[in-house]
Structure 1
Amino acid sequence: MPIPIYTMYTYRIYRIMANTDTFLIQEELLARINEKMKQLNSMRPIPADALGRLHDEMRLVHTYHSNAIEGNTLTLQETKLVLEEELTIGGKSLREHLEATNNAKAFDRMGELAKKKRAIDHVIIQEIHEIVTRGILEDAGRYRTRNIRITGAVKAPPDWSKIVKLMDELIQKIAESKKHPIETASFLHHRFVEIHPFSDGNGRAARLLTNLYLIARDYPPVVLKKEDWGKYYKSLRAADSGNLEPFANFIAKAVDENLTLYLSISGGKDELMPLKELATETPYSQEYLSLRARQGLLDAVKIGKTWHSSKHAVEKYLSEHGKKDV
């Protein structure tokens, strides 16, 4: 009798997860993340007002991007008006408004659970999903009781009767994982959406659970951006085939970017500035520095459509690559 596909996949990934000598994240990227984490930890406790501003910003951008990835048409500014001013946006559906307010409430709840270092279990998973889909799905917060097919997917999610067993296995593996937290968070995210335990809203729930796992381990939340949805889904498809490395690096880059944002609150040389301003203090043009940022050689983040970096990051780039470029 042939072994079910999902069982073969689970065995292969679980075997990888059990091997603590396996590192999926690029060495240079992981070193940069570790260095930033060390710097962030040295800044703790972060002033409450600064933490509050960071929370509000992450809450807004996470809500906007997570919903936009799923097809919500509210813009970032419209999402801000819905969340902060409780306004109704003309021409937008009730569902889109609910998706915005629900996701923001779920983000707040996720943050509360992370502060308490709560381990991820069935209760938390279903609670997060219930908040995200409240007033939208009839079965909000309840595992699906029917089989479904995802448009464009190579294979269908597991039979609904296997969900509780598969989720038990996932919860146990996450609890026992000795891997780097970012690798474990990546595994959690992918395996969750592959099991597809709910009839809808799995992507939104997965992104919140990923952040719950990371924040509980003192990492900043990650924002998976709408502009990167192509890379997001491509790396998830690679993980479907048993190769988690692209997705782990995708998540790691998101962690790296938000660490840069968190460190910028200290000001000084870590303050984020547009590359146009920073370029005046280098031998390079704004366009050239933007290219190096896209290549990942210059530590920078894109805010809106504009690349930002810091004097600290530019100085580091010049010390490591300056002579080669001139």
Structure 2
Amino acid sequence: MTNTDTSLIRKDVLLRIEEKYDLLNSMRPLSADVLDRLHDEMKIMHTYHSNAIEGNTLTLSETKLVLEEGITIGGKSLREHLEASNNARAFDLIEELAKDKKPIDHILVQQIHEIVTKNILEDAGKYRTKNVRITGATKTSPDWSKIVKMLDVLFEKVNSAKSDPIETSAILHHGFVEIHPFIDGNGRVARLITNLYLMGNNYPPIVLKKEDRLKYYKALRSADSGNLKPFANFVAQAVDAGLSSYLSVYGGKDELIPLRELIVQTPYSQEYLSLRARQGILDAVKIGNVWYSSQNSIKKYMLKHAQKSKKELK
């Protein structure tokens, strides 16, 4: 892990991630059944949220039906169905590439883009050959003639990085969307290669959620202005949540349980614990509109809270 004194990421979040990362590694190798379950679950979640961020209107349950049953959803466009199936196939690909520790390069990102935009864009897998202006962006995307050289610099920086993989994945993600090498599909490809990099460094895949879309774009705009810290922390929180989801599969005291069911073990109200979860102080994951935590996380929060209370009384 990185030096928490110099990292862009909050120290408490990094320490929490390190603890979960070590715990997950102590459980490896994971059984085939567990791996299959996690792969299917994360593929559906990633596909739904990544597409929804870009405006796809398929719901999570509809996305699941399209991917698992091949069902056509009435009232939804052909493009939305293709976006779901294409993104899922690309997720399968990056999982295989991560096992081989493939470095990020031009061939790889063009291959991913070709899969993501197959039968949607005429120039699937090809870098743009004209300039574009992105609505809401704080600055204009680079001239198309500079794309290859700028990506060369980004790929070299990422592939040779010695710093914390989470920070590096944030640099990769932001750098890629800032360069905007394709006419369309850059966000989807960025989220996929971010996961490829993280999985190649033995982290679980992350899901950047539709509900956090405004926070996501705000953090990217801040990075455009030279401040990567908000985006690095945004990615770190997704890594933290991803680790919680993986550990939860094993049940026991790390199983994710709705806060409303955990409050009986605490002197706090659900509203109070939800607030602490939103503040990032209580280790919790939001799924849909419901906050989840674990018995271990609640116990650690109460111990730390009690210690602080004692110090304040002295």
TM-score, normalised to structure 1, is 0.92
Partner of 2:217: 233
Larger CA deviation: 25-34 vs 149-158 = 149-158
Partner of 2:51: 67
Task: Give the Cα–Cα distance (whole angstroms) in 2 for the partners of residues 27 and 43 of structure 1.
Answer: 25
Task: Give the Cα–Cα distance (whole angstroms) in 2 for the partners of residues 222 and 320 of structure 1.
Answer: 27
Task: Give the Cα–Cα distance (whole angstroms) in 2 for the partners of residues 119 and 277 of structure 1.
Answer: 44
**Which whole-Å deviations, capped at 9, do the CAs of 1:246-284 have from their partners, x for residues lacking one?**
100000000001101111122111111111111111111
| Matched residue SS, 1:128 | helix
Partner of 2:235: 251
Structure 2 unmatched ranges of 5 or more: none
Larger CA deviation: 199-208 vs 287-296 = 287-296
| Matched residue SS, 1:308 | strand
How far did 1:325 drift? 6.6
Task: Please give the residue correspondences for 1:42-57 in structure 2 after superposition, counting only pairs within 5 Å.
Answer: 42-57=26-41
Runs of 4+ in 1 over 2 A off after TM superposition: 19-22, 322-326
Partner of 1:284: 268
Aligned residues: 308
Task: Please give the residue correspondences for 1:134-213 in structure 2 after superposition, counting only pairs within 5 Å.
Answer: 134-213=118-197
**Which whole-Å deviations, capped at 9, do the CAs of 1:96-144 have from their partners, x for residues lacking one?**
0000000000000010000111111111010001000000000000111
- Report if aligned partners of 1:60, 1:79 keep a CA contact under 8 Å in 2: yes
Partner of 1:8: none
The one-letter code of the counterpart of 2:225 is S
Task: Give the Cα–Cα distance (whole angstroms) in 1 for the partners of residues 5 and 249 of structure 2.
Answer: 35
**Which whole-Å deviations, capped at 9, do the CAs of 1:174-229 have from their partners, x for residues lacking one?**
11111110000000000000000001000000000000000000001010000001
Task: Give the Cα–Cα distance (whole angstroms) in 1 for the partners of residues 156 and 117 of structure 2.
Answer: 25
Larger CA deviation: 207-216 vs 270-279 = 270-279
- Report if aligned partners of 1:20, 1:178 keep a CA contact under 8 Å in 2: no
Structure 1 unmatched ranges of 5 or more: 1-18
- Report if aligned partners of 1:289, 1:298 keep a CA contact under 8 Å in 2: yes
Task: Please give the residue correspondences for 1:269-280 in structure 2 after superposition, counting only pairs within 5 Å.
Answer: 269-280=253-264
Task: Give the Cα–Cα distance (whole angstroms) in 2 for the partners of residues 325 and 81 of structure 1.
Answer: 50
| Matched residue SS, 1:266 | coil
How far did 1:20 drift? 12
Task: Give the Cα–Cα distance (whole angstroms) in 1 for the partners of residues 6 and 145 of structure 2.
Answer: 33
Question: Which of 285, 306, 314 is equivalent to 1:301?
Answer: 285
TM-score, normalised to structure 2, is 0.95
Partner of 2:103: 119
Larger CA deviation: 67-76 vs 271-280 = 271-280
| Matched residue SS, 2:119 | coil
The one-letter code of the counterpart of 2:76 is K
Instruction: Check if 1:82 corresponds to 2:42.
Output: no
Partner of 1:214: 198
How far did 1:152 drift? 2.0
Task: Give the Cα–Cα distance (whole angstroms) in 2 for the partners of residues 234 and 243 of structure 1.
Answer: 11
How far did 1:28 drift? 1.0
How far did 1:324 drift? 5.2
- Report if aligned partners of 2:42, 2:205 keep a CA contact under 8 Å in 1: yes
The one-letter code of the counterpart of 1:45 is P
